[in-house]
Structure 1
Amino acid sequence: MRLLPPPGPARILTLGTLVKTVGRGLWLVASALFLTRSVGLSATQVGVGLTISALVGVLASAPSGYLADRLGPRGVQVGALFAAGTLTVGLTAVRSFPAFLLVGAATALADAVERGARGALIAGAIPADQRVRTRAYLRATTNVGISVGAVLGGFAITADTRTGYVALILTTAAASLAAAAVLVRLPSVAPVAAPTHGPRLIALRDRPFLAFTLLDGLMSMHFSLLTIALPLWIAGHTRAPIWMISALTLVNTILVVLLQVRAARSADTVPGAARSARRAGVAVALACVLFAASGALPTAGAIGLLGCGALAHVVGELWHSAAGWGISFGLAPANAQGQYQGTYGMGYELGKMLAPVVVTTLALGWGVPGWLALGGLFLLLGALVPPVVAWASRRPALEPVSV
């Protein structure tokens, strides 16, 4: 596949995403250690703070997209990235739990504004038939950026000094500001006039779209299978070597980078995206079955099933991501792309909040039956998407789609 999209807005978005996500990778690997070892917060305080910040992100998603529609998405996204960079610098002054809550919530708000504006910017700057493909490039680039940032961040956490953590935070902030500078090169997208009558946040009154957002958000819990449930399952319930955890993560990252753009081809129409969602449910369910079966086998068999399960999971992940983009763009009215993309992002944030409890309780607390229950859940969620899309096609205000 091409490493970059053709010259133009899609390439600028991709380069900006790369810069931003390198900073995100830096922060992801060091945030918990900085907050506990340098600031002095307890693990519980960090967890509570992150949960509250995530909730702020959920609540702000749709209004943030509305703001991007009204003011113009390029300016809003650049402003949000600048605000996020400034707030990141503020982390160096955090010395208490209340200060962490304040900075964390404000940063989550800036991130929500940036996400909503990004969706509206893609909708406004990229032709309709290229939006899903562009999102695929951005996701592949995100994986590259986070991986590079995580490797670079390893040096700071190895040193385990206040100076090292502060340097990492400042680098993260600089990445956000640099991404803003890159995105200024995008063409301006004109703001959309506010409706003269009726509700402003129409996405929150669009029941079919909200139903899809809920299904997609719950489906996104599968991302935590690889990052939370599977590592603990491998370490405590299988005979597979511990290095399998890193190996499966590496395979996932490489395949997403190589195949996400190709997988998006089947989701460039709403009906195709709905079918991709259904297939994603099947693939992730199969992965859960294979992961469950790995616990009863000797080392070689466990390695084989875990590898097959990881491949099934990444196929489901590719289809699920592409389906979400195709449906969220396709079902949104042209004059409200920002708020619809913000609302779509709200589902992902909700899934991210629920996933740690759900996947650990089922996969680790219940064992094999829990893995099978998770598989059944993902199978059901994927199967429900096409009927919900068909329901959305009957809305009189939108152009009908067929499934």
Structure 2
Amino acid sequence: MTSLVRQPVIRRLILATLVNTLGNGVYAAVGALFLTRVAGLSVPSVGLGLTLAAVAGLITSTPLGVVADRLGPNRAYVVFLLIQAVAMASLTQVRSLGWFIAIAAVTAIADSGQRGAKGALIAGVVPAEQRVRTRAHLRVATNIGMAAGIALAGIVLAIDQPTVYVAALLADVATFLVTAAMVAWGLPSVPPVPTAAGPSALTALRDRPFLAFVALDGLLTMHNAMIQVALPLWVATATDAPTWLIAVLLLLNSIAVILLQVRVARGTENLTGAARAGRRAGWLLAIACAVLALTDVTSGAATISLLILAALAHVLGEMLQSAGGWGVSFELAPPGGQGQYQGAYAMGRQMGDLFAPTVLTVIAVTIGWPGWLATGAIFLLAGTLIPPTVRHHTLHPAPTPTPA
């Protein structure tokens, strides 16, 4: 345990993250089955609802970051967690597509809001030189909490009864409420930024160099769909590797993040180090794609070895991308604008999560090795462009119009 984790504020943030992601893990494992088996929705309907909800979350991410700045990140974080709790409780009563779309949209919007508020809260209660390391510890906690929640959900899936699915969703509601209580009464209060004292609303959306970084970082976050969707499909349909290897590769990813994320984040507390991490992330993800391309023509032990090598390059790139993104987003935010800049930064990942599954399955999995090389070229280009984009921002900072 590092000295950072011994700090009461950091411990409380880690504990709150563990509680929140425990519930998220339960829902991740049982949510789709509840919606199809209990609520009676079709699989295409669920997909449509989630897509529309993701778009709603993307559109509102930055404006809700402004809300966090004006309301104060503690208060905003608690409000968004409570909205998520109400939405999850309401989900237990869903029996129609329209009702599901409405609740899913509210949930996605509140999730976007709490992400920006949480980022602003971290910026407010943690010294600048410790923010990235704190985010690294919280990402480790997220992986642990999600894994524990998914494991507990195994009990629900084994029983496979409607009342148990409802109970699982209500348990998720409880985790939102407990997390909100921990934020409200366990963390120092960060004062709101009056309109006259902070940057104008949506300054982040006028900051073109920052938005360019967000777009490049968003391309790198396609690594999420790569490990969760594209790689399992590739192993199962295009290689002769045993399907159980998929579980091994996913487990390797989780273990590596838990053990190494904090170490990998070292040196990304400043802009130069953070931008360099983004570049290295792109290169490593490109290497992972190139190795996967080789598995299109290999067999047996060679394929298994290459898949493991690709997974290792991927997870190193994933960790560097996360750490570099945290460092840049914190450092480029103007005083009083952490909420909206964290909200704008989150748009990159939201765009990646929205489009990457389709892009990767069409380009990489369907086309084969040329598709993997094309995907690798995207990662390579995005990573290479991050340092000059960040340098351009330092030379040409965002305009600071009169606050609204």
TM-score (norm. length: structure 1): 0.96
The answer to whether structure 1 residue 5 and structure 2 residue 5 are counterparts is yes
1:389 CA displacement: 0.3
SS at match of 1:247: helix
What one-letter code is carried by the residue in structure 2 that aligns with 1:304?
Answer: S
Contact 2:284 / 2:316 at 8 angstroms: preserved in 1?
yes
1:395 CA displacement: 2.6
> Could you list the runs of 4 or more consecutive aligned residues of structure 1 that deviate by over 3 angstroms after TM superposition?
1-4, 195-199, 396-399
Name the counterpart of 2:25. 25
Name the counterpart of 1:339. 340
Check 1:251–1:196 CA distance in 2 against 1; reply closer, same or farther (3 A cut).
closer
1:86 CA displacement: 1.6
SS at match of 1:76: helix
Post-superposition Cα deviations, 1:66-91, rounded to whole Å, max 9, x if no partner, equal 00100110011011111111210111
1:149 CA displacement: 0.4
Check 1:397–1:305 CA distance in 2 against 1; reply closer, same or farther (3 A cut).
closer
Name the counterpart of 2:266. 265
1:127 CA displacement: 0.3
Check 1:104–1:341 CA distance in 2 against 1; reply closer, same or farther (3 A cut).
same
Name the counterpart of 1:106. 106
What one-letter code is carried by the residue in structure 1 that aligns with 2:388?
Answer: P
Contact 1:62 / 1:343 at 8 angstroms: preserved in 2?
yes
What one-letter code is carried by the residue in structure 1 that aligns with 2:126?
Answer: I
Name the counterpart of 1:312. 313
CA distance in 2, matches of 1:128, 1:323: 15
Name the counterpart of 1:150. 150
What one-letter code is carried by the residue in structure 2 that aligns with 1:172?
Answer: D
CA distance in 2, matches of 1:153, 1:4: 32
What one-letter code is carried by the residue in structure 1 that aligns with 2:383?
Answer: G
Post-superposition Cα deviations, 1:20-79, rounded to whole Å, max 9, x if no partner, equal 000000001111111111111111110110001111110111111100100110011011
Post-superposition Cα deviations, 1:148-191, rounded to whole Å, max 9, x if no partner, equal 00011111122221111101100111111111111221000011
Name the counterpart of 2:193. 192
Alignment map for 1:1-400 (pairs within 5 Å) = 2=2, 5-184=5-184, 185-195=186-196, 199-396=200-397
CA distance in 2, matches of 1:396, 1:306: 42
SS at match of 1:350: helix
CA distance in 2, matches of 1:273, 1:196: 28
Contact 2:20 / 2:176 at 8 angstroms: preserved in 1?
yes
Contact 1:4 / 1:14 at 8 angstroms: preserved in 2?
no
| Residue segments in structure 1 that go unaligned for 5+ positions in a row | none
Contact 2:281 / 2:316 at 8 angstroms: preserved in 1?
yes
CA distance in 2, matches of 1:397, 1:154: 49
SS at match of 1:188: coil
1:397 CA displacement: 5.8
1:113 CA displacement: 1.1
Contact 1:216 / 1:347 at 8 angstroms: preserved in 2?
yes
SS at match of 2:92: helix
Check 1:3–1:104 CA distance in 2 against 1; reply closer, same or farther (3 A cut).
farther
Check 1:152–1:279 CA distance in 2 against 1; reply closer, same or farther (3 A cut).
same
Contact 1:333 / 1:398 at 8 angstroms: preserved in 2?
no
1:323 CA displacement: 0.3
1:398 CA displacement: 8.5
CA distance in 2, matches of 1:346, 1:94: 28
CA distance in 2, matches of 1:245, 1:28: 18
SS at match of 1:157: helix
CA distance in 1, matches of 2:212, 2:386: 9
SS at match of 1:93: coil
CA distance in 2, matches of 1:364, 1:252: 20
Kindly tell me the number of residue pairs found equivalent between the two proteins.
399
SS at match of 1:6: coil
Check 1:397–1:103 CA distance in 2 against 1; reply closer, same or farther (3 A cut).
closer
What one-letter code is carried by the residue in structure 2 that aligns with 1:204?
Answer: L
Identity level (%): 49
CA distance in 2, matches of 1:22, 1:370: 36
Aligned residues: CA RMSD: 1.6
CA distance in 2, matches of 1:197, 1:371: 45
CA distance in 2, matches of 1:306, 1:172: 35
CA distance in 1, matches of 2:199, 2:120: 21
Post-superposition Cα deviations, 1:347-373, rounded to whole Å, max 9, x if no partner, equal 110110011111101111110000010
Check 1:378–1:181 CA distance in 2 against 1; reply closer, same or farther (3 A cut).
same
What one-letter code is carried by the residue in structure 1 that aligns with 2:103?
Answer: V
CA distance in 2, matches of 1:354, 1:297: 30
SS at match of 2:48: helix
**Which stretch shifts more, 321-330 or 82-91?**
82-91
1:198 CA displacement: 8.0
1:335 CA displacement: 1.2
Contact 1:17 / 1:142 at 8 angstroms: preserved in 2?
yes
Contact 2:197 / 2:336 at 8 angstroms: preserved in 1?
no
CA distance in 1, matches of 2:54, 2:367: 27
Contact 1:204 / 1:210 at 8 angstroms: preserved in 2?
yes
What one-letter code is carried by the residue in structure 1 that aligns with 2:386?
Answer: V
1:199 CA displacement: 4.2
1:197 CA displacement: 9.8
